[in-house]
Structure 1
Amino acid sequence: MTDPSAAPSGNYPIVVEGLRNAFGEHVIHDNLSLTVRRGEILGVVGGSGTGKSVLMRSIIGLQHPAAGRICVLGHEIDDTEDDDDVDLRSRWGVLFQGGALFSTLTVGENVEVPLRQFYPEISDDLRGEIARFKVRLSGLPEEVAFKYPSELSGGMRKRAGLARALALDPELLFLDEPTAGLDPIAAAAFDTLTRELKETLGLTVFLITHDLDTLYAICDRVAVLADRRVIAVGTIPELLALDHPWIQEYFNGPRGRAALGDKGNPHMAARPDEAAMDSDGNRGA
């Protein structure tokens, strides 16, 4: 098996090795490793308390791990913040749970926040035009840019948060439970939008979710967090072939079968154009 960390960084925009996160004596991650392939949508699943959001926060530098190495777009993530780190942060966008919009700003002003931070030389008119374009790109009408978050439905707030995440034309997109709390129709529409944006903009997407439909509909691979580490990474058919009890319960348990029906069949879930890959993302023969 080839060591993905030794491959060109362009092939693996996110590399995590030996990560350890702890809050006091409570250890969240211990020797966690993960690689994300360029251009894929990687779904991240795990039980409550397994540290999915903590992992994402570690990757984007909001959580400082006790040990381990994180490399994003060829740059090491550490405790320091210099000009290179600031430039790096402009190359990713993040949709936090619930959207995390500033309630006292309009949607357009929310989208303008990262533009003001990274490109203060842009004129007010151009910044507003960019913000309105990103609002449309997220699937919302342009007039939503002039509304406040409190005037929006839950699904619209998610899309507004997505518009802000796309403000700087990022290479990486981090989505934390983007369909949580949405009705099935709105969730499916958000999934479709995510796939379209990934293909149109050439994004690499790190997607935390509990939504089985999302996993089947748009994720190229799925990473499973359990036992304080990533225990498996692969396509859904590959995961279904494993005998780990949590994986089997998650995908084949009563709620999984009720929600998915025939999609629980690994043959139905397989992507016909995708060769098998091992847990590190290497394609099989």
Structure 2
Amino acid sequence: MAEQETATAPEPAKAEEPPVIKVEGLVNKFGDFAVHDGLDLEVRRGEIIGVVGGSGTGKSVLMRSIIGLQYPTAGHIEVLGRTITGVDLDQKIGVRRRWGVLFQGGALFSTLTVGENVEVPIKQFYPEIEEGLRKEIARYKVLLSGLPEEAIAKYPSELSGGMKKRAGLARALALDPELLFLDEPTAGLDPIGAAKFDRQTRELKETLGLTVFLITHDLDTLYEICDRVAVLADKQVIAVGTIPELLETKHPWIEEYFNGPRGRGARNTHNLKTLSASEQVW
């Protein structure tokens, strides 16, 4: 008698992980002028998403809306499973501990040293931590940002532009965030400094398991470290995807941005690096 084959039940499909950031129907108006009108965006856990767009498309306004510094005219925003829109500050405190922000230029407090700047969010959210431990945490974050230890005692006026960025990064990492917001982090840096910052961002993302929301104009940054790119135009996010996917999108701004002289240059440089890396493997 032939043995019966035992049918194997198919494994149930895994539920898709909810987005870390979910923006629906966002409207931001200043007077009669609408910066965003019905903007939608989802950010996946563990990705570096680059946000690009022409001047005045509201990239920083979008970030400020997500972190609760800008009150939208309409729309719904969730971050790390918590609603941000339409709730008071006390309700946002819990989720604010779980993200870090690097603003343009670093936004450091000029009267505080680098170490003291890093201590600010620790004091704010964890006032029970004693001073010695707080200073040790600040020291570790400064070193993690790539600054030398002696920078801890320096004031912002004593730092170069690149060092200010790293000091701002150290402060953004102070609370061991799950989510990191970077607003034009390589703006004003020389090409070598910008490339180092890009590499460090990727390393921090992989080491710490971060999700990174990155506003940038830097095409090299997009090619080097971004998993996906969101394009703002016409008061909305008009496209989200990998760069090869965006290159297939027939929108005038996208075509000009990625296929202009600088876009072609960044793509060629990236392709050469990829080719060189594959040759080394072989």
CA deviation profile, 1:150-200 (whole Å, cap 9, x unmatched): 111100100000000000000100000000000000000000000000000
Deviations 1:107-132 (A, max 9, x none): 00000000000010111111100000
Alignment CA distance shift 1:33-1:184 (3 Å): same
TM-score (normalised: structure 1): 0.88
Equivalent in 51, 72, 87 of residue 58 of structure 2: 51
**One of 140, 145, 169 as aligned partner of 2:147:** 140
- The 1:199–1:259 alpha-carbon spacing in structure 2 relative to 1, beyond 3 Å, is closer
Give the aligned partner of residue 93 of structure 1. Answer: 100
Deviates more, 1:256-265 or 1:238-247: 256-265
SS at match of 1:11: coil
1:260 is displaced (CA, Å) by 4.0
Q: Which residue among 227, 238, 263 is the counterpart of 1:220? A: 227
Q: Does 1:236 align with 2:243?
A: yes
Q: CA RMSD in A?
A: 1.7
Instruction: Give the count of matched residue pairs.
Output: 261
- For 2:79 and 2:271, the matched residues in 1 are separated by 34
1:194 matched residue in structure 2: 201
Aligned counterparts, 1:7-86, within 5 A: 10-81=17-88, 83-86=90-93
Q: What is the letter of the counterpart of residue 70 of structure 1? A: I
Over the matched positions of the two proteins, sequence identity in percent amounts to 75
1:261 alignment counterpart? 268
- Contact 2:22–2:41 (8 Å) recurs in 1: yes
Q: Pick from 86, 108, 121: which aligns with 2:115? A: 108
Supply the distance in 1 between the matched residues of 2:238 and 2:42 (Cα, whole angstroms).
13
Match for residue 165 of structure 1?
A: 172
Give the SS at the match of 2:65: helix
CA change 1:264–1:51 in 2 (3 A) is: farther
Q: Which moved more, 1:70-79 or 1:25-34?
A: 70-79
Asked whether the equivalents of residues 219 and 262 of structure 2 are also in contact (C-alpha less than 8 Å), the reply is no
In structure 1, C-alpha distance between the alignment counterparts of 2:261 and 2:93, rounded to whole Å: 46
Distance (Å, rounded) in 1 between the aligned partners of 2:144 and 2:231:
31
Relative to the length of structure 2, the TM-score reads 0.89
Report the counterpart of residue 130 of structure 1 in structure 2. Answer: 137
Secondary structure of the corresponding residue to residue 186 of structure 2: coil
Q: Secondary structure of 1:230's partner?
A: strand
2:118 is equivalent to residue 120 of structure 1? no
CA contact (8 A) 1:252 1:264 kept: no
Range with greater deviation from structure 2 (250-259 or 65-74): 250-259
Shift of 1:141: 1.0
Unmatched 5+ stretches in structure 1: 1-6, 273-285
C-alpha displacement of 1:255: 2.7
Question: 2:71 is aligned with what amino acid?
Answer: H
Residue type matched to 1:48 in 2? S
